[in-house]
């Protein structure tokens, strides 16, 4: 089979699968609306089952199309003419380092410093994330869940928020600091190549100032978000919203 034929088959398969997914999604939405309008207590397992049986054939056809698409993707020949450009800082640094003079002491010092920084980040981040999860774990195993599930979940939310948002913040900080370290080492490698070159080259402007401003903006947005979250917890707004959400969810799955 030629590459052109394989490309056409992939295109037709992708369009067909997209249409089937849209149709199945619309049928699911219409079924949910029909379930909601079917009575006083519509969200029982029996009622949900009766409504979903009516759309099982399109669902099975869509699942079959997904499996068929995966098989075709694995079996059909790939188009090797188009190459995907991957913007990977580590790969760029590795490529540039091959042109650096191994005897350049200045670059060796910078490279060792940046590698040590990245190792510290990779080791410290999981440790801090685990420490942030300890308060929630202690609360979970000490108090557990009482008969009043709403009150138990609300009581556990502060420590859970610290663990979840803290872990996300740590991950974002590690990614930013790692990219900044790779960029700094890449700039040092370019400067080392320029020093070793016979023909003088014009060095590119540093992006340090721009990165600092962007990082400050991100930290400011995260700080404002955390302040608003704490204010919502302290004034009781979170407890009201969470209590209503729990009641709605338990009613939807037939437990309320």
Structural domain contains residue 66: yes
39, 13: one domain: yes
Structural domain contains residue 137: yes
238, 138: one domain: yes
228, 181: one domain: yes
Q: Determine the structural domain holding residue 38 and report its residue range.
A: 3-75
C-alpha count within 13 angstroms, C-beta hemisphere, residue 56: 7
Decide which of 75, 108, 125 is a domain's last residue.
75
pLDDT at 202 exceeding the cut of 50? no
Structural domain contains residue 83: no
35, 103: one domain: no
- Count of domains in the chain? 2
Q: What is the rounded CA–CA span in Å between residue 33 and residue 1?
A: 46
57, 166: one domain: no
pLDDT at 230 exceeding the cut of 60? yes
17, 127: one domain: no
Q: What is the pLDDT of residues 14-60, one digit of tens each?
A: 899 999 999 998 998 888 888 777 777 666 777 778 888 888 898 89
Q: What is the rounded CA–CA span in Å between residue 94 and residue 55?
A: 53
pLDDT of residue 148: 63
Structural domain contains residue 84: no
8 Å CB contact between 9 and 76:
yes
Query: How many CB atoms are located within 10 Å of the residue 62 CB?
Result: 20
């Amino acid at each position: 089979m030629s590459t052109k034929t394989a490309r056409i088959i992939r295109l037709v398969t992708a369009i067909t699968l997209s249409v089937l997914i849209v149709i199945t999604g619309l049928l699911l939405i219409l079924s949910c609306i029909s379930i909601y309008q079917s009575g006083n207590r519509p969200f029982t397992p029996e009622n949900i089952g009766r409504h979903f049986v009516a759309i099982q054939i399109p669902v099975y056809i869509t699942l079959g199309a997904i499996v068929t698409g995966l098989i075709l993707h694995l079996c059909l020949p790939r188009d090797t003419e188009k190459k995907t450009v991957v913007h990977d800082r580590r790969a760029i640094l590795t490529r540039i380092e091959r042109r650096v003079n191994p005897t350049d002491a200045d670059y060796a010092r910078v490279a060792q410093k940046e590698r040590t920084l990245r190792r510290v980040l990779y080791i410290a981040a999981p440790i801090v994330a685990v420490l942030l999860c300890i308060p929630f774990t202690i609360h979970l195993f000490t108090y557990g869940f009482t008969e009043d599930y709403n009150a138990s979940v609300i009581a556990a939310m502060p420590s859970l928020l610290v663990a979840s948002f803290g872990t996300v913040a740590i991950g974002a900080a590690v990614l930013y600091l790692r990219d900044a370290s790779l960029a700094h080492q890449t700039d040092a490698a370019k400067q080392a190549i320029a020093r070793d070159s016979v023909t003088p080259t014009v060095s590119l402007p540093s992006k340090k100032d721009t990165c600092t401003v962007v990082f400050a903006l991100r930290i400011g947005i995260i700080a404002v978000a955390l302040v608003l979250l704490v204010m919502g917890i302290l004034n009781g707004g979170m407890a009201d919203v969470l209590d209503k959400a729990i009641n709605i969810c338990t009613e939807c799955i037939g437990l309320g």
